[in-house]
């Protein structure tokens, strides 16, 4: 495959290695930042006490023994670790198959993998995921989550955005 094919996304769908290296750095940065913040939370934040940050935002250290929104809470750690690993491998496969010119999607895949790895490390080391971000009002509160969860959500949104932009581009060009 020529360099031109890689730049235009034609030919082999795989992203050139030179485009993947910065994404691997993003994965490493996401994991590092997530783990550093979780260490600070675990060593400095009281357990199950609301620490107001600003209206509607607080820190609240808790442990999630399931996956998102405490789903699959009763599944043994080994099962959750295997499930998370399968998801990471599947997302990595999708990432590898995505044409190199789809930078927004590549950013999304990197963030999803970084977030999933951050939570996987928690589960493997502690047997639970450390959560600490709480959005709330006096009458309502959202599930407590962490930076890794945010990376996963932002990554998914970037992939959807990339797909929408491709659809709009195809529609404009009459494909």
pTM: 0.85
Residue 142 CB contacts under 8 Å (≥ 6 apart), including other chains? 134, 135, 136
pLDDT computed for residue 77 by the predictor: 74
pLDDT in tens, 97-112: 999 889 999 999 999 9
**Phi, psi dihedrals of residue 62, rounded to the nearest 5°:** -150, 175
d(CA 123, CA 157) in angstroms, rounded, equals 25
d(CA 31, CA 39) in angstroms, rounded, equals 12
- Say if residue 14 is exposed, middle or buried (CB neighbours under 10 Å; 0-12, 13-18, 19+): middle
Share of the chain above pLDDT 90, in %: 69
pLDDT computed for residue 2 by the predictor: 44
Residue 35 CB contacts under 8 Å (≥ 6 apart), including other chains? 118, 121
- Across residues 9-38, what is the average pLDDT? 80
Using alpha carbons, select from 120, 111, 94 the residue that is nearest to residue 15: 94
- Spatial contact of 109 and 151, defined as CB atoms under 8 Å apart: no
pLDDT computed for residue 16 by the predictor: 61
What token pair was written down for 108?
């999304």
Least confident of 1-15, 28-42, 127-141: 1-15
Active site residues: 131, 149
When pLDDT is cut at 50, 70 and 90, the band that residue 18 belongs to is confident
When pLDDT is cut at 50, 70 and 90, the band that residue 5 belongs to is very low
When pLDDT is cut at 50, 70 and 90, the band that residue 8 belongs to is very low
- Across residues 27-34, what is the average pLDDT? 98
What token pair was written down for 144?
């407590």
pLDDT computed for residue 104 by the predictor: 96
Q: Is the pLDDT of residue 159 over 80?
A: yes
CA count, 13 A, side-chain hemisphere, 30: 29
Residue 168 CB contacts under 8 Å (≥ 6 apart), including other chains? none
d(CA 89, CA 97) in angstroms, rounded, equals 12
pLDDT in tens, 33-79: 999 999 999 999 999 999 999 999 999 999 998 777 666 777 777 88
């Amino acid at each position: 495959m020529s360099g031109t094919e890689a730049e235009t996304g034609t030919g082999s769908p795989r992203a050139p290695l030179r485009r993947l290296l910065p994404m691997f750095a993003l994965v490493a940065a996401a994991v590092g930042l997530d783990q550093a913040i979780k260490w600070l939370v675990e060593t400095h934040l009281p357990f199950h006490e609301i620490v107001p940050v600003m209206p509607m935002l607080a820190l609240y250290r808790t442990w999630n023994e399931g996956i998102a929104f405490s789903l699959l809470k009763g599944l043994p750690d080994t099962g959750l670790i295997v499930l998370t690993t399968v998801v990471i491998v599947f997302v990595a496969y999708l990432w590898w198959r995505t044409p190199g010119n789809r930078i927004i999607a590549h950013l999304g895949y990197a963030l999803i993998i970084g977030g999933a790895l951050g939570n996987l490390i928690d589960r493997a080391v502690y047997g639970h995921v450390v959560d600490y971000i709480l959005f709330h009002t006096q009458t309502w509160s959202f599930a407590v989550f962490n930076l890794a969860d945010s990376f996963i959500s932002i990554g998914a949104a970037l992939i959807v955005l990339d797909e929408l932009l491709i659809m709009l581009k195809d529609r404009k060009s009459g494909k």
